[in-house]
Amino acid sequence: MKIRLNRYLAECGIASRRKAEELILDGRVEVNGKTIVDLAFFVEENDSVKYDGRLLRLESKVYFLLNKPKGYITSTADEKGRKTVLELINTKQKIFPVGRLDYNTKGVLILTNDGDFANLLMHPKNKVPREYHVLLDKELDGEHRLRLIKGITLEGSRGKFESIKFTKPKSFDRMNVVTHEGRNHFVKNMFGLLGYTVKELERVSYGGITTKNLPVGAYRLLTPGEIKKVFTDYAL
């Protein structure tokens, strides 16, 4: 059996296929004692594959849903010594977060060792919806609401919200927004362009997966139905 090297890294839980390609090009992967920088390279069944000098083995797939609390970074490690989301999940398998949530953002965070699953959720072409609950420092102007839905230029490219729905009658500083975007700080930056500060941010849904009945800081395994639905709804 042959498998492309970036896929092998993804299936070992190192990173998504796209990120694995960066690791290969950076010269961090060896096959049978030789550094490989060819993205088209295939690994065979008995090959010895090392990442940063560590021998890799294919692992069974795991999929966790975490209701991320504030005060944790969405990373596998932090040079500043801050708490990471991996500290909240008890598993012996090497997992990584699917996308990012800011340090003080809470809500839906998926962690897995399945690079294909992660890439499916994160790839812009798949337009996977992310829904956030937002509290602003002031009420959202009606004209600004329309602009955010129509689209504005952010960091050189167009960004937009698919919908903005206020969560309380006659209260226009609390809302749920839906976007297909996965850029870092996207929600905060979009509102920031129009003069608003996001005071609270919570991701309440990602690809239809929610933290319903899951307390803040708790986690659970995704159900087979949830996993299948992601592959069914968003596979290219």
Looking at the annotation, which residues are catalytic? 102
Nearest to 64 by CA among 226, 228, 232: 226
Question: Helix, strand, or coil here: 167?
Answer: strand
Q: Which two tokens mark 159?
A: 């960004």
169 by Cβ neighbours in 10 Å (0-12 / 13-18 / 19+) ranks as: exposed
State which H helix or E strand residue 43 sits in.
strand 42-44
Q: How far apart are CA 29 and CA 33, in angstroms?
A: 9
Q: Vertex 162, ends 64 and 19: CA angle to 5°?
A: 45
Nearest to 174 by CA among 150, 191, 154: 191
Q: Are strands 198-206 and 106-112 parallel, antiparallel or unpaired?
A: parallel
State which H helix or E strand residue 108 sits in.
strand 106-112
4 by Cβ neighbours in 10 Å (0-12 / 13-18 / 19+) ranks as: middle
